[in-house]
Structure 1
């Protein structure tokens, strides 16, 4: 195993990793970092495009840490070892496990999308979702329900920030994540005969009243303000999840989970 040593905070690798804590630098370089044994292992397992890996001695004290380092080496990835103190300065978790990977982004545009089945497409569109936990949880749920891609509108939290990545539990490596600065995605989906289904409080039609067994895109809006009016005017169906208790609304990730799995029930589960 070839390991390169870095001891200086002024090293260009260290400076680059620090810069990736900022969204504008992640966008500029089309790279992000993942930290911790589990998510690095998921990245490796699902052929994430790893640029290089850094680690500290603490990794050998973590269950599965040494084995993971061997797996990284066997894949031919460049490995750098850092002193514990230097690694801690780069870590985004309270109790660092001593491993981090710099990863190249994939599927960054609509044009990159390729589908084997064009008759039963399944998209999730997240409009200005702000909470990293909600964003990551919805991506995780989307992957578990065999969604084809997640489309994220301008004004949403960055899906590649550290909190969101942890909430995805590795799902970020399994399906395309498309960030759009405008509403061009609407026309893209319309051209593929995808019907947009919006979670909306201003309707009497419930989520169990419609057919999901076709090309669909489920739209989930901002936690406080709902779906942007421009997008809402383009949807084919508006549905509500009835509130049976005394609260006013559901958490965005919970609402998304209900709709995503209702669609999965008709698209996949009933056919098993």
Structure 2
């Protein structure tokens, strides 16, 4: 007997809604939901206590038994035809499972730290989803306490960010705000501020990152705004050995964060 929830029509309103949510940030913000594709990403968001509103899976790629636990968690689940799935699939590779998920509140006051000396990253005005995703992967790899996006240009639930972050948009503790509010938050909570700025800077190897601190990075094109130069405890620089004076922001982020992690691990040992 065919499942009454089975979707085969390419004109089904639920499929049209998914496409609108994938394509339009204003729709995601208006409805406070977003779309996630892939079993790994869905597993990560469940562990991070996100709530799935609707789940769509293609039986051509998944047997119900493979998803039995997930289908138990999500009552609003819909098997769909291969053609219907291919219409809404965002990735080139096919994984056969897509979810509509409730967004979280990412205000600064929602940040919670279990450490007395948290290490956080602030990225000001990153625009390219690929860079944001790479930064989030790096932050997850370093296991830092939070990532703050200052002056955000792209919403966190952009499908390209979710894809390029390989789901680490769900594993990191995230907040967004304008730079002035982020600076006020860091000052109020007594964070040392280390801004990656070329001018009046010391080597990134110089500061002591074992304290309660924030590492601040900007874009390759524009760097950080003057607000961060004025607020900085110390400006830091990665000395360039070649002919150019900057590198990709996600690469620079990795160098800075793992130096901080190295210092902290040394202190623990």
Question: Considering the TM-score relative to the shorter chain, is it more than 0.5?
Answer: yes
| In 1, Cα distance between equivalents of 2:192 and 2:216 | 10
TM-score (norm 1): 0.88
TM-score (norm 2): 0.89
| Stretch deviating more after TM superposition (250-259 or 170-179) | 170-179
Residue among 62, 71, 74 paired with 1:73? 71
Q: Does 1:244 align with 2:241?
A: yes
| In 2, Cα distance between equivalents of 1:213 and 1:248 | 27
Secondary structure class of the residue paired with 1:39 = helix
Output aligned runs, 1:221-260, within 5 Å: 221-260=218-257
Consecutive unaligned residues of structure 2, counting only runs of 5 or more, are: none
| Stretch deviating more after TM superposition (225-234 or 70-79) | 70-79
Q: Does 1:198 align with 2:195?
A: yes
Residue among 160, 164, 170 paired with 1:163? 160
Distance 1:181-1:238 versus aligned 2 partners, 3 A rule: closer
**How many residues matched?**
266
Consecutive unaligned residues of structure 1, counting only runs of 5 or more, are: none
Q: Does 1:112 align with 2:114?
A: no
Distance 1:199-1:77 versus aligned 2 partners, 3 A rule: farther
| In 1, Cα distance between equivalents of 2:157 and 2:130 | 12
Hey, which bits of structure 1, 4+ residues long, moved more than 6 A?
none
The residue that corresponds to 1:180 in the other structure is 177
CA deviation profile, 1:7-66 (whole Å, cap 9, x unmatched) = 344444223322212111222222211112322233334443222211113322xxxx76
Q: Does 1:82 align with 2:80?
A: yes
What CA RMSD, in Å, does the superposition of the two structures yield over aligned residues?
2.2
| In 2, Cα distance between equivalents of 1:200 and 1:181 | 19
| In 2, Cα distance between equivalents of 1:3 and 1:240 | 60
Output aligned runs, 1:118-133, within 5 Å: 119-133=116-130
The residue that corresponds to 1:18 in the other structure is 19
Residue among 143, 147, 150 paired with 1:150? 147
